[in-house]
Amino acid sequence: MGGGNAQKSAMARERNAAAAAAQGRGGGGNDGKEKRGGDTAAKIAAGQAEKAEREAKKVALAEKKKLEEEKEAKKLAKAKKEAEKAEKEKKEAARLKKEAEDAKKKADEAAKTKAAGGGDAEVVTKGMAEVDVSDEKKEEKKDESKPAEEPKKEEGATVEVS
């Protein structure tokens, strides 16, 4: 290769300029249009796939949340029902206790009346019978096969209550 330094430098500049021009074609004009845009159909498809994936995750998360809420609602409903049942049982027990106390009070008043000299024996026995009505009903159910025996009353007999 002959020539002077100026010739060699000029040729090197030309080579470098050609290489830069070949690389720079993506930067401007119609030559680089495809490089700048790429395959738009593939980009669109990829974007739609990503969007569909995000939507599927949202739907799955919403369904999971809904199931958890339904489960929690069932638990709360069950707890409420149990609380109502307990309250109802408590009220029933209080009512039965009050009835028993009232019946006992009535029997005690009848006994006091009898002890004071007023009233008759039937009132006393009637008041006492009301106290144990529930026990008698239970016994009657157990002994349905046996006829109930009634105590014999003699005329003129009195009943004493202590």
Nearest to 126 by CA among 155, 150, 106: 106
What is the pLDDT of the chain when averaged over all its residues?
Answer: 78
Residues found in the chain: 162
pLDDT of residue 147: 52
CA–CA gap between residue 103 and residue 111 (Å, rounded): 12
Report the alpha-carbon distance of residue 24 to residue 16 in Å, rounded. 12
- Give tens-digit pLDDT for 53-91: 999 999 999 999 999 999 999 999 999 999 999 999 999
Each residue of 104-138: pLDDT tens digit? 999 999 888 888 875 454 544 555 555 555 555 55
Tell me how far apart the alpha carbons of residues 63 and 69 are, in angstroms, rounded to a whole number: 10
